[in-house]
Amino acid sequence: MTGAAGTSALEVEGLCKSFRAVRALDHVALSLHYGRVTALLGDNGAGKSTLVKCISGVYAPDAGVVKVDGTVQAVASPEAARSLGIETVHQTLAVIDPLDVVENLFLNREHTRGGRFGAWLGVLDKKRMRAESGEILGRLDIRIPSLRRSMSALSGGQRQAVAIGRAAAWGQQIVLLDEPAAALGVEQAARVLDLIRSLRDAGVAVLLITHNMDRVTEVCDRAVVLRQGRKTAEVDVGEVTKDDLVAYITGARTGGPDT
Amino acid sequence: MTDESAAAGRMLPGAQQWLARRRQDVGLRQYVVYVAAVLIFGLFAVILRDDGFLTASNLLNIGRQAAPIAVMAVGMAFALAAAEIDLSVGSVTALSSLAAAEAVGSYGFVAGAAVALAVGAGIGLVNGVIAVKVRIPSFLVTLGMLGIVSGIARNMNNLQSLPIRNDTFLAVFGAGSVGPISSLLIWTVVVGVIGHLVLHQLRWGRHVLSVGADRSAAAALGINTDRIRITALMTSAAAASFAGVLLAGRLAIGRHDLGENLLLTVIAAVVIGGTNLFGGRASVAGAIAGSVVMAMLNNGLILMGLRVADQLIARGVIIILAVALSMREQKET
């Protein structure tokens, strides 16, 4: 379950990550709060995706700590992140094309049947997963022609919707979205924003990576700006203009109360 | 659109829609192998009718030849589904036939099969661990293992065949039958049904496909991709071992070259059957149908009276053509 709205869900302190000679993250701090949407902004190569991958267990950071609910956690693997209630929608979506919608929603979260032996063997409870998939997508108002279609038969927007639906369904506490609406049309992008709002209203702490300033001002409460691996600004979205945000991203300005 | 297909569209819009959807979802290649099996059967039935193709004993013979190919093909389907490949299977089959023969002589028929399967699973484990942990592509690891295992098999009994005199073993794994149904056929069906259920009804089967389709996506969702790849290679090697048991049972010997030359046949059978050579898609039923196709081709070429050298050439050409056709279908989807 999530904590009270506004309390700290996830804190990152002093996070460093280098790839050979390139310093992708340089002592980055970040905090996410329940029931709040935080934008993570920055130019290409600023370190946004690297930061998300460090939090979601894909990369092991070189230094720094990740705290969930105030407790230091070793997010050593994606599985560890997921079991801490951290769900991620990566830029690549991480959907499996030959599997169908239900299988993708429940991948590595499968329900089994047949008691303990069935669980040990991994006998899939397809009926239950199909029913729950319908509920999940219905609750999030995601419309997919058929749950049994394979992902490769879906449009880009539908694939994205399934990936976000999966994160929303399992992300009880923290959801990280790496450019979730990048390839979407206007209407579908609006749906994604609605989804983010409903996550926020359910008390989930959301991190949103985007290049679109309209989306930041529409749904985000705070914005963190990365530039060349460092946090250069952290601001309340209500207190700045889009032009201010762009200025932070391009490096024309730095600052904000917390930096 | 041609006039013909437009006409077909008017006549059968529902069927066309269904076809289009199937095509989008799974591709039509899944069905190619069944059409091919029927066509080849019909062709041989006509042109080889005077050479005894349709006799009961010849059809039974095709079935007996298809059995070990099919068992190996089911295992290989899992390796390919995980985007790995196991080139050591033929040599594992041979070594397993020797191991079975040796163990049957000392400890009885259950031990014979168990030791053979353990040999296969062990070799698969070594293949998998080296491929995953040392990060060597499995085609190289298993190619090296092919040589190692072939050498061990040759050393084991100095190139001599090892006779099996345990009647229970021979009845259960080869010569016997239940009513009119050969035990080889029963084992093939058992392996096929298990393989199909594992692929479609077990979590592991879906994870194998996921890892084969997109390893980094599977890893991002927390799937232990190392474990999946290793167990997929263990599956292919264990299946190859069981094929060795069936060959040993049928021929009443273990020998260093039993099944050794089946590698290409097996890969062709699996790929023709609709399994993607590069991972992410597999069909167990297709692999078995592909094995029947390969066994029929083998049999037909022999009945045509081709010399061994010409059989080799013809088989090679047919395999390349068949795989090329099924790959073209795969690339389209």
A146 touches chain B (CB under 8 A): no
A178 touches chain B (CB under 8 A): no
**A chain contacts of residue B216, beta-carbon cutoff 8 Å:** 92, 94
- pLDDT, mean over chain B: 90
Give me the residue from A79, A81, A96 closest to B214, CB to CB: A96
**Nearest Cα to Cα of residue A7 among A28, A40, A25, A32:** A32
A79: which 2 tokens? 């599985």
Q: How close does chain A come to B277, measured CA to CA in Å?
A: 14
Give me the residue from B24, B202, B220 closest to A124, CB to CB: B202
The residues pairing with A1 across neighbouring beta strands, listed in sequence order, are: none
Rounded-to-integer distance, Cα B287 and Cα B293, Å: 10
Residue A213 has pLDDT above 70, yes or no: yes
Question: pTM for this structure?
Answer: 0.88
**Nearest Cα to Cα of residue A144 among A88, A199, A105, A194:** A105
**Nearest Cα to Cα of residue B71 among B327, B291, B222:** B291
Lowest mean pLDDT among A149-163, B35-49, B94-108: A149-163
Lowest mean pLDDT among A135-144, A184-193, B39-48, B174-183: A184-193
Say if CB B254 and CB B305 are below 8 A apart. no
pLDDT of residue B19: 65
Do A94 and B201 lie within an 8 Å CB cutoff?
Answer: no
pLDDT of residue A158: 86
A112 touches chain B (CB under 8 A): yes
More confident residue, A156 or A223: A223
Question: Binning pLDDT at 50, 70 and 90, where does residue B107 land?
Answer: very high
**A chain contacts of residue B206, beta-carbon cutoff 8 Å:** 99, 103, 107, 110, 124
- pLDDT, mean over chain A: 89
Do A88 and B209 lie within an 8 Å CB cutoff?
Answer: no
ipTM (interface pTM) = 0.86
Which residues 30-59 of A have a C-beta within 8 angstroms of B?
Answer: 56-58
Q: CB pairs below 8 Å between A and B: how many? A: 79
Do A94 and B203 lie within an 8 Å CB cutoff?
Answer: no
Question: Binning pLDDT at 50, 70 and 90, where does residue B22 land?
Answer: low
| Angle formed at CA B276 by CA B275 and CA B281, multiple of 5 degrees | 70
Rounded-to-integer distance, Cα B130 and Cα B205, Å: 22
Q: How close does chain B come to A156, measured CA to CA in Å?
A: 15
For residue A29, the surrounding DSSP H or E stretch is strand A22-33
pLDDT of residue A140: 80
pLDDT of residue B18: 65
pLDDT of residue A183: 67
Q: How close does chain A come to B279, measured CA to CA in Å?
A: 10
pLDDT of residue A157: 81
A211: which 2 tokens? 């290049």
Residue B329 has pLDDT above 80, yes or no: no
Q: Which of the listed ranges A52-66, A138-152, A197-211, B229-243 does the model predict with the highest average pLDDT?
A: B229-243
Do A79 and B216 lie within an 8 Å CB cutoff?
Answer: no
Say if CB B314 and CB B114 are below 8 A apart. no
Say if CB B83 and CB B279 are below 8 A apart. yes
Residue B178 has pLDDT above 60, yes or no: yes
Do B218 and A150 lie within an 8 Å CB cutoff?
Answer: no
**B chain contacts of residue A97, beta-carbon cutoff 8 Å:** 213-214, 280
